[in-house]
């Protein structure tokens, strides 16, 4: 009990011995925005306010006494301001000083303004000191995700600009994959100290419907930004309604939706707060969206009576929520019936030409086989004596029938035939 009483008395003595002692205050300011460094004190009269940074005066305010001239030589009023090192970007409100408020307002704050500041106020009743720790940050304003082929292969590129301190970038897929994701992340600081982050992930082979998710987290505990991307290809027939799919990942809640075409024209927008959708002409006669399904992550677009020349191209849908976006790009091809018919006719012509060529090849092969077989048939040998006798017979055959040789020859032949029968 005595120990507790001793400690209580000691703390009370400290508090009364240093009534102006205030705890350090930490202030976080944003780059290029206005920032306030608080300083409160017990008002009196003839106040003099000095602001120090690392024990160097960066701003000074002096309240003139009543017996001095109301105006200085430069035409200023009772207040006398002294600006040092902050380039005229700092100020206090003189009418608040008399009320005990010496807050320093810093305009267009930058990274070079970081540090420990001390407010020192002298009045007719005493002095006051307060310490302010100033942190300057550049939060993530936007996250950009796109498909790149500049490296010779397809990769998803995640980019964030003008951020401080350097953030942490992570990748994931939906659905999750067992393959190792090996992104390459580069960070570069410009002359003002702000970082530009470029993180790239090669697309996985054989998994065309994966959603690639990039997350950027800051070291000061700010909001985590998320961007995701998916790409697909579909085909449709002219004149037949086609549904172009678009599904949001599970981490998006009550998003807004926007559809655009490859030429940059706006197709349709859905407002997540009002729950209504508006289509732009001339798309309003060709598209339809089920507004009741969008809050549940289904933003599929129905393309009615599509035409080959008008509706073939790239359709992009973007889901948007605070600190999160999801993009799906669909390459849509509407087949042309005229082109299909001409292709079929060309195919039939080629089929006929092929059939004719095949018949000619078969006929040529048959002719060659016939000639080869005929060449193998043995020909009769021509004897010179037989040839001479044949010529003689032909010469005798040219004689008239009244010739005795002809008749005798006939009778001789008959006699020979009779003799043969007798024998």
pLDDT category at 108 given cuts 50, 70, 90 is: very high
Q: Which of 323, 274, 275, 283 is nearest to 301 (CA)?
A: 283
Is residue 20's pLDDT more than 70? no
pTM equals 0.66
Sign for the pseudo-dihedral over CA of 407, 409, 415, 420 = negative
Is residue 421's pLDDT more than 70? no
What are residue 222's phi and psi, to 5 degrees? Answer: -75, -170
| pLDDT tens figures, 336-381 | 876 555 554 555 667 788 888 888 888 888 788 777 777 665 555 5
Q: Which of 98, 100, 60, 63 is nearest to 81 (CA)?
A: 60
DSSP per-residue letters across 307-362: -HHHH-EEEEEEEEETTEEEEEEEEEEEE-HHHHHHHHHHHHHHHHHHHHHHHHHH
Rounded to whole angstroms, the Cα distance separating 124 from 120 reads 14
CATH fold, domain 138-223, is Immunoglobulin-like (2.60.40)
Please provide the average confidence, as pLDDT, over all residues in the chain. 79
Is residue 164's pLDDT more than 90? yes
Rounded to whole angstroms, the Cα distance separating 181 from 202 reads 8
Q: Within 10 Å of residue 123's Cβ, how many Cβ atoms?
A: 19
Is residue 158's pLDDT more than 70? yes
Domain ranges of the chain: 20-137, 138-223, 229-344
Mean pLDDT of 87-101: 87
The structure tokens listed for 369 are 């086989």
Q: Under a CB-based contact definition with an 8 Å cutoff, are residues 102 and 61 in contact?
A: yes
Q: Under a CB-based contact definition with an 8 Å cutoff, are residues 120 and 52 in contact?
A: yes
| pLDDT tens figures, 171-220 | 999 888 888 899 999 999 999 899 999 999 999 988 888 999 999 998 77
Architecture of domain 229-344: Sandwich (2.60)
Considering the four listed CATH numbers 1.10.3720.10, 2.60.40.10, 1.10.3210.10, 3.40.50.150, the one that applies to the domain covering 20-137 is: 2.60.40.10
Fold: same for 20-137 and 229-344: yes
pLDDT category at 54 given cuts 50, 70, 90 is: confident
pLDDT category at 412 given cuts 50, 70, 90 is: very low
């Amino acid at each position: 009990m005595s120990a507790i009483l001793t400690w209580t008395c000691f703390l009370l003595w400290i508090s009364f011995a240093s009534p102006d002692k205030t705890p350090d205050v930490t202030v976080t300011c944003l780059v290029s925005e206005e920032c306030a460094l608080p300083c409160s004190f017990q008002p009196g009269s003839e106040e003099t306010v000095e602001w120090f940074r690392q024990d160097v005066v960066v701003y000074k305010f002096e309240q003139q006494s009543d017996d001095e001239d109301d105006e200085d030589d430069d035409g200023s009023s009772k207040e006398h301001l002294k600006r040092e090192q902050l380039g005229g970007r700092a100020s206090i409100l003189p009418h608040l000083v008399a009320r005990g408020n010496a807050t320093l307002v810093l305009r267009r704050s930058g990274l070079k303004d970081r540090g420990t500041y001390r407010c020192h106020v002298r009045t007719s009743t005493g002095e006051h000191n307060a310490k302010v720790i100033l942190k300057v940050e550049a939060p993530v304003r936007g996250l950009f995700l796109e498909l790149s082929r500049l490296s010779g292969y397809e990769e998803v590129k995640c980019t964030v600009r003008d951020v401080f301190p350097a953030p942490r970038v992570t990748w994931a897929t939906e659905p999750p994959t067992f393959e190792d994701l090996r992104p390459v992340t580069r960070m570069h600081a410009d002359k003002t100290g702000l970082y530009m982050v470029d993180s790239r992930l090669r697309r996985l082979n054989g998994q065309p419907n994966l959603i690639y998710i990039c997350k950027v987290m800051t070291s000061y505990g700010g909001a985590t930004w998320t961007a995701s991307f998916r790409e697909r290809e579909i085909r449709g027939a002219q004149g037949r309604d086609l549904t172009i799919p678009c599904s949001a990942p599970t981490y998006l809640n009550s998003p807004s939706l926007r559809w655009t075409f490859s030429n940059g024209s706006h197709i349709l927008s859905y407002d997540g707060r009002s729950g209504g959708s508006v289509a732009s002409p001339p798309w309003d006669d060709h598209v339809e969206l089920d507004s009741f399904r969008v809050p549940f992550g289904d933003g599929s677009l129905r393309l009615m009576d599509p035409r080959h020349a008008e509706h073939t191209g790239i359709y992009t849908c973007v889901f948007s929520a605070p600190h999160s976006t999801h993009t799906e790009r669909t390459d849509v091809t509407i087949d042309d019936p005229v082109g299909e018919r001409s292709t079929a006719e060309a195919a039939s012509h080629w089929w006929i030409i092929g059939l004719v060529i095949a018949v000619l090849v078969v006929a040529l092969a048959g002719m060659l086989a016939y000639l080869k077989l005929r060449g193998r048939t043995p020909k009769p040998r021509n004897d010179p004596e037989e040839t001479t006798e044949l010529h003689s017979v032909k010469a005798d055959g040219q004689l008239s029938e009244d010739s005795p040789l002809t008749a005798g020859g006939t009778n001789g032949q008959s006699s020979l035939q009779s003799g043969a029968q007798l024998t």
